[in-house]
Amino acid sequence: MQGSQEVKEEQELKIDYFADEIGVLSPNQMQVDELYAGENLEINSMRKSLSCEDGKVGYLSASIRSVADARVGDTITSYNRKADEPLPGYQEATPMVFCGLFPVDAEQFPELRDALEKLQLNDAALKFEPETSSAMGFGFRCGFLGLLHMEIIQERLEREYNLTLITTAPSVVYQVNCSDGEVVQCSNPSLLPEPVKRKSIEEPYVKIEMLTPKDYIGPLMELARDRRGEFKEMKYITEDRVSIIYETPLAEVAIYDTVAQLLSAF
């Protein structure tokens, strides 16, 4: 702090970085002294004018140590010419499915954290926060776009980073409307407000379409009904193939193994 500057509770703070190196990928990495949108560049001895607007990618190195300090979608602005608002158009991905990831070996916890941070660099939809379990120790509560996204991340952690993981059952985000008017978004059942404080609980629904041979219509409709599904439409695509549409809670969609068994896939 300098001079008479003060820091108060709940005051907004900002961290500044110095641009150690800037450049353009065109396609090879080339360092430049200045970089701005629409800049004309001279490449090698060809003296060919290229613009950053014509599909060129700019880069900068600022010695940012934490991945969380440079998230996908952030706006970079000059310290001397600050932007009043971030650039429009980017909308942060909202996780729909959550699960806990715990290392079998507790000593791999730092490795799991580093691996998740590296994956998050190229996958802005991946969210995670530390979680502690009395049975499984230290791990992370992770958010994904869906079940397929969850399986891909788990597979990459195990194959690319040689981690042995315990994965908890997937869950979804519930919206709890409390008696005092407060609205709570909860992805972990253990964090639900006390029953006396709950007015109502809402959960996400999805519209699913199942394509199946006509011989399996009965078992699939029974399965969907057992999973709280609401029948919407059924139509024959061909003489032997049928499309069945249901609306069902997202929490009930993790039924691939059951469907595969009904269809004699194994």
Q: What is the pLDDT of residues 16-60, one digit of tens each?
A: 777 778 887 777 787 877 776 655 544 443 334 444 455 567 777
Q: Residues with Cβ < 8 Å from 136, sequence gap 6 or more?
A: 100, 102, 166
**Which domain does 209 fall in, by range?**
205-262
- 112 lies in the same domain as 137: yes
pLDDT, one tens digit per residue, over 124-134 is 889 999 998 88
Q: How many domains does the chain have?
A: 4
pLDDT, one tens digit per residue, over 75-124 is 777 777 777 787 787 777 888 889 999 999 989 999 999 999 989 888 88
In sequence order, what DSSP letters do the residues of 63-95 get, joined into one string?
Answer: ----GGGS-TTPPP--SSS--SSPPTT------
End-to-end CA gap in the chain: 66
Six-digit token string for 154: 């788990």
Is pTM beyond 0.85 here? no
- 183 lies in the same domain as 127: no
**198-202: strand order across its sheet:** 183-186, 174-178, 198-202
Domain assignment present for residue 65? The answer is yes
Domain assignment present for residue 5? The answer is no
- 104 lies in the same domain as 163: yes
Per the CB < 8 A criterion, the answer to whether 117 and 129 are in contact is no
